Amino acid sequence: MDYREYLELFKINTSDVNKVLQTALSHGARFADLYFEYSVANSLTLKEHIVGNAASHQDYGIGIRAVKGESTGYAYAESTELEDMLRAARVAASIADSNNNLPLAIGIESRYDFKQVGRPAVSPYHIEKGWDEYTVKQKVPVLQTLEKSIFSKGDEFVKVICSLRDSLTHVLYFNSESETFCDTMPMVTLIAQCVGQKDGKIENGSCSRSFRCGFEMLSDELIEEVASRAAAQCRFMFTAKQPKGGEMPVVLASGASGILLHEAVGHAFEADFIRKGTSIFTDSLGKRICNKGINIVDSGLVQRNRGSLNFDDEGIPSQETYLVRDGVLESFMHDRISANYFGVKSTGNGRREDFRFPPIPRMRCTYMESGDCEESQAIASVRNGIFVKDFSNGQVQIGEGDFTFFVKAGYLIENGRLTQPVKDINIIGNGPQVLKDITMVCNNAEIANSSWVCGKEQQCAVSCGMPTVAVSKLIVGGES
């Protein structure tokens, strides 16, 4: 789609864009950009057979950035009236100049002949059935079917809450290098939570699925998958026990274990931490950091994935970046500022929560590629240990790479076999050390399509995944 088709949506013209860019450059900034955003987000919740919450939210505005030397100024306006944009541009220009020792220079007035940035060869998303074509009344049956499916799976289920969220975000971007892009990004998330009661015990289960697509996502197959997984997790908890703790081998299941990869390792590959020297991998580029055969990728091109994008929020076309190839650290994740600092090309990782925030290096869909062994072999290699499959939350110190993750569900491994279901485990370790301690990588890589959100300074939709891997040792916190 041509960017000119978005000008009317934001009630602007290229003359206004030129004036705002020139104002952002007026204190001698070397670079400026404008990020226009208009989003519509809807949510629907079904509880106790009744739609208890239905909401629609619209957000609209522009973010303006000016970069001078090592300083960045950022301001936004919840309006695209020319005077409001110029006021925000003056603030951004002033901030960029305020902590800068460079001499004040008046920006050269130029008229930019904008050229649209080329899209990826294959877009990672498209909309077959637009969300604006469906009313609340048409969405309610999806949640009713989901609720009914969970209740049908057993008398132990006493409470079910189902939610559907959909959004459509329109973006238009210009910068002082005469580049522009436009995009319309969909997102849909289906969530089920259930509570079960059995033999005096109360447990819960949940499942979410999130994709960049239209109403076509909500198939009978997906609804049944979400219902089955939420119900199975709840049932699992009735038989699970907390294991004894200690240092032991751990096998991380495929899919959701990727959250450990994201938190304990991925953030340390983001170039703002490298630039500040706070990442443990600061001096590791080009060096071996784990065993051969381990490949870690960050991609914005995984089809329908919630972390995928046609462009990052700085106008860089999406791409696939190998962070680790065959055990060697090959690349960091860069936005425009870190790429300029290190003299490399941006990897398309400049992302922001919305127009109120400046872009910073962020992950998209971060995953480990498959290896060449079977999951059964990884489990059989452990005499006494833990198999973990569902993580809930955790804490990470990015500088040192130390982490603590709470594991909701897993199994004991005894003499190479899965035995007792276990729950409520703390996994404690160090991200870089975990990479070094991976002894087996299985052939079942899986992207976890849950509703992952990264909270690094801002909230951003991301995704993660990995194959099953065997780790020689981690500290498992359980019963004392």
| pLDDT band per the 50, 70, 90 thresholds, residue 109 | low
User: Which residue, 259, 267, 365, 287, is CA-closest to 320?
Assistant: 365
Helix (H) or strand (E) holding 386, with range, is strand 384-397
Measured distance between the N- and C-terminal CA atoms of the chain, rounded to whole angstroms: 61
Share of residues in the chain with pLDDT > 90 (%): 88
| pLDDT band per the 50, 70, 90 thresholds, residue 399 | confident
Rounded Cα distance between 456 and 11, Å, is 32
pLDDT tens per residue across span 316-362: 999 999 999 999 999 999 999 999 999 999 999 999 999 999 999 99
Indicate if the pLDDT at residue 263 is higher than 90. Answer: no
Q: How far is CA 103 from the centre of its chain?
A: 40
- Does the model's pTM come out above 0.75? yes
Q: Which of 26-30, 72-76, 219-223, 250-254 has the lowest mean pLDDT?
A: 26-30
Taking residues 173-193, report their average pLDDT: 97
Q: How far is CA 250 from the centre of its chain?
A: 25
- Which residues contact residue 418 at a Cβ distance below 8 angstroms, ignoring those fewer than 6 apart? 379, 387, 411, 412
CA angle at 209 for the pair 217 and 318, rounded to the nearest 5°: 80
pLDDT tens per residue across span 365-382: 999 999 999 999 999 999
Amino acid, single-letter form, for residue 376 = S
Per the CB < 8 A criterion, the answer to whether 423 and 242 are in contact is yes
pLDDT value of position 107: 46
CATH numbers and ranges of domains, the chain: 4-42+55-116 (3.30.2290.10), 131-169+184-239 (3.30.2290.10), 246-477 (no CATH)
- Which residues contact residue 20 at a Cβ distance below 8 angstroms, ignoring those fewer than 6 apart? 34, 64, 82, 85, 86, 89
